[in-house]
Amino acid sequence: MRVRAYLSLGSNLGNRAEHLTRAVTELLKSGSLAAQSAFYETEPVQLLAQPWFLNCAVALDTLLAPGELLVACLAIERAMGRLRSQAKGARVIDIDIALYGDFVVETPDLVIPHPAMHERRFVLTPLAEIAPDAMHPLLHKTVRALLAELPAGQVVRKL
């Protein structure tokens, strides 16, 4: 069964735009690209002493099960040189599954919808560009509504 997954991508090391573009190209091995947002420059959250990020969102129509898509995303990160040396630290590439159809997944390795997506402007802004009416299956709110409810804060600039 083909499912539309929404992925959030970010990079804050090296040529950030090149890293995002390469990751999106690699994701095409896991499905077909239905939409891609513009790139957004975003200030870091939680760990502030690091370079600003470049973020985007993609809609990927895939036949992969959620766990298989996670394995594919982690393989892309590894192939691109992602090192997980510091939690929330700088990274060449980060690929998160924000939504996977209307599925709810809770395993030790994977939680969908992404447990913090509704709190992150750097996820919701690009996602609202390509899927404003996508529904959060637990909060029963659209991406547009979740973005509108965020308090002022993190800087997110469309490039």
102 catalytic? Reply is: no
Catalytic option among 16, 91, 120, 121:
91
Sign of CA dihedral 2, 59, 33, 24: negative
The catalytic position among 4, 84, 96, 157 is 96
Among this protein's residues, is 96 annotated catalytic? yes
* C-beta of residue 49 within 8 angstroms of C-beta of residue 34: no
How high is the pLDDT of residue 64?
98
| pLDDT on residue 31 | 98
pLDDT means per 10 residues in the chain (159 residues)?
97 97 98 98 84 97 98 96 73 95 96 96 98 98 98 91
CATH of the domain at 35: 3.30.70.560
Considering the candidates 16, 94, 120, 121, report the single residue annotated as catalytic: 94
Structural domain harbouring 59: 3-158
Q: How far apart are alpha carbons 6 and 30 in whole angstroms?
A: 13
Counting the structural domains of the chain, the total is 1
Catalytic residue among 16, 82, 120, 121: 82
The whole-number pLDDT of residue 85 equals 66
Secondary structure (DSSP) of 92-112: S-EEEEEEETT--EE-SS-EE
22 is catalytic: no
CB 38 within 8 A of CB 108: no
Q: Is position 94 annotated as part of the catalytic site?
A: yes
Q: List, in sequence order, every residue forming a beta bridge with 56; answer none if it has no partner.
A: 9
pLDDT at residue 110, rounded to an integer: 97
CA-nearest of 22, 97, 89, 87 to 59 is 97
Q: What's the pLDDT score for residue 86?
A: 65
